[in-house]
Structure 1
Amino acid sequence: MININNNNPDFLYDLIVIGGGITGAGVARDAALRGLSCLLLEKGDFASGVTSKSTRLIHGGLRYLANFEVDLVAESLRERAILRQQAPYLIHPMPILIPIYKEDPHGRAIMSIGIHLYDLLSHEKDIPHYFTSNRVKTLGFAPHLNQNGLTGSAMFYDHQIMMPERLVVENIVSARRAGAVLLNYHRVEKIEEQGNITVTAKDVLSGGTKTFRSKVLVNASGPWIDTVRQAGDINERKIIHPTKGIHLVLPKLSEQALFVTSRDGRMFFIIPLGAYSLIGTTDTEYRGDLDEVHAQKADVDYLLTESRRVLPGMNLAKESILYTYAGIRPLAFSGASESKISRKHRVIKEGRTGRIITIAGGKLTTYRNMAKDTVNAVCKALGRRAECVTDKQPLPGGLPVSYEEYMREAVPELASRYALPIETVRHLISFYGARAEEVLEIARKEPSLRAPISSDSRDLYAQVLFGVREEGAKTLSDIVLRRMHLGISAGRGDQQAEKIAALVGAELGWSDEEVKHRVEEFRVDLDKDRFCLKG
């Protein structure tokens, strides 16, 4: 591990990473594991931007084949295989049905060819092969489908990650263990390139200002890439083409995941999300405030209208929507229409000496490869030779044996040792992997923290303290929405906010007034995801 004195303003890092989403966290982990001294600065919480607003899939991107981006799909499927090995507790296979109708632009034969190619590009032999079905068999898989014009379907397998935020946390913890310094709630205000690079950042929570120095700077700030470039007075030409995507969360509609074609030719998912269903996403141009991205009434109406067309008997109403969420795709290319814009990534050398490196575009599934390409560029700028090891190095929650064996043998043993229900232990492992035992230890030492927080989730109060002590959480939204399953449940921890805040306040030394303020702040965040549903 690298020994870094975070309090020394004269310390010269090999690199500073700006952005604490999946890309920035991946870059920090890769760099630290190669032995580089690394500082990561994130203006909000880790995973509070794009990563937490995705469709929660680790997938190859079947629809990208329609754009002839075979290389992107092949890259995505290779990375999916690596992620499945490293985090089988977070990522699970999901059969996805594509219903095919007479009016669809791609018929059953063309769809079969596309999925066959998708199948060939995947080297994971344990995943079932795709198949097509006639109308009768299709209705057996999904009896609520609209039968008018239905000619059949295609079934293929991809993977769901219920909480991509947990994957970011895994990378953050791994980077920290390898010696990186990672600071959330530090907003970069100025970048100066004079010999080395000087970064001035504001501590958003305390209001203080800090200065850091590095040899190389990596801009991994997603939608805010051009904002960061402005802070460094870098080329005024914008390189990010932002598009907005929204999602709806409802009570579960079906156990069968669907990938359907809308009337305007765009495709969207209706997939199970635990006890709920997730509908999304849209893909529209965005020119608004990057810090205030929310679903609008028109977005909700679009997804509801198209979902009703596909599932006419489900009585889908706006009133049944539990909440929404929206985010920005930081696309690095332009295109004729939003849905046709490439999801490939670009590594761009900028600044006077090429030591400001911007990583733009890409997708959740390919984050590790994006980080690898970025750190390769960093090493070249530093004149260092160091191989990437992130495809071999386990994540902190990595299991000592196969997922199936661990769940079969470790779950009963842990449940017995900690006197907790088997389903609770299984639940914790599905989000923390082998680190679940650290949560269980907190519950053992402090018995009051063994209690479930809500009937909506199997989360325990012990996870609240674990999020603060081990995972950098500093607010209620950090803990509930980005560290715990409770944040994607129906109630989202609203009714338990005061009790959670009291627990966090005691840990972080909050005054009674600050506890009250943090609860109010949390409820404002929840209201933003429900505002478009009012009236």
Structure 2
Amino acid sequence: MVKPFSAIQRNAYLEEMEGQELDLLVIGGGITGAGIALDASVRGLSTGVVEMQDFAAGTSSRSTKLVHGGLRYLKQFEVKLVAEVGKERAIVYENAPHVTNPEWMLLPIYKDGTFGKAATAVGLKVYDKLAGVKRKERRNMLNKKKTLEKLPMLREDGLKGSGVYVEYKTDDARLTLEIMKEAVHRGTKAVNYTKAEELFYENGRVAGAKVTDLISGRSFNIRAKRVVNAAGPWVDELREKDGSKKGKYLYLTKGVHLVIDQSRFPLQQAAYFDTEDDGRMIFAIPRDGKTYVGTTDTYYDGRIASPRMTQQDLDYILNAANYMFPGLKLEEKDVESSWAGLRPLIHEEGKSASEISRKDETFISESGLISIAGGKLTGYRKMAERIVDMVAKDLGVKAKCTTDKIVLSGGDVGGSKGLENFLEEQTKAGVALGLSEEEAGKLVKLYGSNVKRVYEILETSGEEARHFQLPKSVFASLVYGMEEEMTVTPIDFFNRRTGALFFDIQWVRKWKTNVLNYLAYRLHWTHNQRVRFEKELEKEIAYAAHPEEKVHEDKVAQ
């Protein structure tokens, strides 16, 4: 059976792309590139995607993991942005309920804090109106007593009350993957670890790209009528290759999040609160037995591919958490994992990182290269619509955007209303196949309606798990990742496919060798490839668990 998104068939997809002229080549496999590919494919455009790293490996797996309505943008009077992303998050929820769920957020109000009580009440009411928030999810204002009943760990000194409103929690990397998988299902050819080395031109117009498969080393010339640069933090590098980096440019900022076990940070109610010193606001959010806290927002000019948590980042977030939750007394040793990501913002003279607009920007060069940068995860679909509208008009395609009605891969669970029943039924189905209730429940939440394919793997190949000394649930997840989600390396599996590097790092340490063994066997790695991927995994584990100043790469694999 031909699997259109298999790690084993990557070369075949590249050969197919080289063998035709595409309508559209998208460079960049984050959420923006995935959204563009889906919209273009739905409108009938032959579409290819190349991604230099893994899908979602950049900004799209390193966010605060919220499909957020952008409450804080009201402070910057970004009314149109708040209205658009507020409505968009409801669409994301309906189309991918398995990776998106409502999360009530508490916004504590303190004397001399960022938000006063009256301003918060008005702000949240305006936010509800602009974002089209459902009646049952509209904000509530609480007094001090009710606030402390909801979140007894809060600092009491100066507390006046709180506002409670709804955000939507997501798994950003899996959301990106589900969009890409839906695009592939509808005809897109997408390949990771494939770098656009240079653009080529015909009659002064960009006509495609020479790309290199970073796994095999082979190069391919992919021709396309239109080329879109959706490379996130790398957008300006591609504009430089095109000779069109003029005017506005990217301003990269770094955001860091820490993950702490609930035994040390027993947070049951998500919160969005002021820091003590600089008045920035950060989130603390419970997830899967952990609490994650972030984020920082600092200018970044280091290596784009590998932003890291520094000691300063770690201390800043711990101090903020200890200030707001004084009983915790968190220390560095309590941090189990972390992640650092880059925001590709559009430079604005005289503004700090936190003040720069999160609006997206489109650049069209003289050669016809279309570049898109900035924007929010929540607004990915509208960004894609604007880009594909341009491309479709150029190519004489009259079809309009319909992605607001398209259920994403894994989302066929009966909508947000049918999700609970689906989870219950499929968990029982997993238990009937010999999984524990916990194992089955995790798989259903991770894969949504695609869990049925994972269960098929269990039924047909489950016995092979013994040979590699892997639990059946891990084995089935790994095989599904390789065959249906283009899992190429162990870090793809432990980070973007399962989220375990951040939220269950001990599980990663437990199964890393066995997972490496299976990937090496199925993908026919050379000895050098195995060494390379093992070192990469060890390095990412080390950097997740420690500030970069304390990680010595020569000792990582020891």
Q: Name the TM tier (shorter chain).
A: over 0.9
Identify which of 270, 274, 284 aligns with 2:288.
274
Matches of 2:39 and 2:178, distance apart in 1: 13
8 Å contact kept, 2:337–2:501: no
Query: SS state of the match for residue 199, structure 1?
Result: strand
8 Å contact kept, 1:249–1:276: yes
8 Å contact kept, 1:399–1:406: no
**Displacement of 1:33:** 1.0
**Displacement of 1:206:** 1.6
Identify which of 412, 421, 425 aligns with 2:436.
421
**Displacement of 1:177:** 1.4
Aligned residue type for 1:311: F
**Displacement of 1:492:** 5.2
**Displacement of 1:277:** 0.8
8 Å contact kept, 2:212–2:219: yes
**Displacement of 1:500:** 0.6
8 Å contact kept, 2:284–2:293: yes
Corresponding position of 1:337: 352
**Displacement of 1:422:** 3.7
The answer to which of 423-432 and 143-152 deviates more is 423-432
Matches of 1:5 and 1:345, distance apart in 2: 30
Kindly indicate whether residue 256 of structure 2 is the aligned counterpart of residue 246 of structure 1: yes
**Displacement of 1:126:** 5.6
Corresponding position of 1:221: 231
Identify which of 95, 100, 112 aligns with 1:91.
100
**Displacement of 1:192:** 2.2
* Correspondences of 1:446-525 after superposition (within 5 Å): 446-448=461-463, 460-488=474-502, 489-491=504-506, 493-511=508-526, 514-525=529-540
**Displacement of 1:406:** 4.6
**Displacement of 1:400:** 4.8
Aligned residue type for 2:324: V
**Displacement of 1:7:** 3.6
The answer to which of 361-370 and 440-449 deviates more is 440-449
Matches of 1:485 and 1:359, distance apart in 2: 27
Kindly indicate whether residue 223 of structure 2 is the aligned counterpart of residue 206 of structure 1: no
Corresponding position of 1:293: 307
Query: Structure 1's 138 and 413: CA in aligned 2 closer, same or farther, altered over 3 A?
Result: closer
> 1:90-129 CA distances to partner (integer Å, 9 max, x unpaired)?
1111111111111213211111111111112233426422
Aligned residue type for 1:200: K
Identify which of 63, 80, 88 aligns with 1:54.
63
> 1:303-348 CA distances to partner (integer Å, 9 max, x unpaired)?
1111111111101111101122111101124251111111111222
Kindly indicate whether residue 173 of structure 2 is the aligned counterpart of residue 165 of structure 1: yes
Kindly indicate whether residue 350 of structure 2 is the aligned counterpart of residue 350 of structure 1: no
Query: Structure 1's 103 and 400: CA in aligned 2 closer, same or farther, altered over 3 A?
Result: closer
Aligned residue type for 1:101: Y
TM-score normalised to structure 1 length: 0.93
8 Å contact kept, 1:26–1:367: yes
Aligned-residue identity in percent? 33
The answer to which of 223-232 and 423-432 deviates more is 423-432
8 Å contact kept, 1:444–1:450: no
Matches of 1:279 and 1:324, distance apart in 2: 9
Aligned residue type for 2:524: G
**Displacement of 1:504:** 1.3
**Displacement of 1:211:** 1.0
Corresponding position of 1:398: 411
Identify which of 176, 194, 200 aligns with 1:192.
200
Identify which of 439, 444, 454 aligns with 2:454.
439
Query: Structure 1's 486 and 227: CA in aligned 2 closer, same or farther, altered over 3 A?
Result: same
Identify which of 100, 103, 122 aligns with 1:113.
122
**Displacement of 1:191:** 0.9
Matches of 2:14 and 2:109, distance apart in 1: 59
Query: SS state of the match for residue 331, structure 1?
Result: strand
Which structure has more relative contact order (CA 8 Å, sep 6+)? It is: 2
Corresponding position of 2:46: 37
Query: SS state of the match for residue 258, structure 1?
Result: strand
Query: Structure 1's 448 and 519: CA in aligned 2 closer, same or farther, altered over 3 A?
Result: farther
Kindly indicate whether residue 381 of structure 2 is the aligned counterpart of residue 368 of structure 1: yes
Query: Structure 1's 54 and 458: CA in aligned 2 closer, same or farther, altered over 3 A?
Result: farther
8 Å contact kept, 2:84–2:131: no
Structure 2, gaps ≥5 residues long:
5-11, 551-558
Matches of 1:97 and 1:148, distance apart in 2: 17
Query: SS state of the match for residue 208, structure 2?
Result: strand
Matches of 1:416 and 1:264, distance apart in 2: 50
> 1:114-157 CA distances to partner (integer Å, 9 max, x unpaired)?
11111122334264221111211111111111111111111111
Matches of 1:408 and 1:145, distance apart in 2: 35
TM-score normalised to structure 2 length: 0.90
**Displacement of 1:178:** 1.2
Query: SS state of the match for residue 68, structure 1?
Result: coil
8 Å contact kept, 1:223–1:329: yes
8 Å contact kept, 1:269–1:280: yes
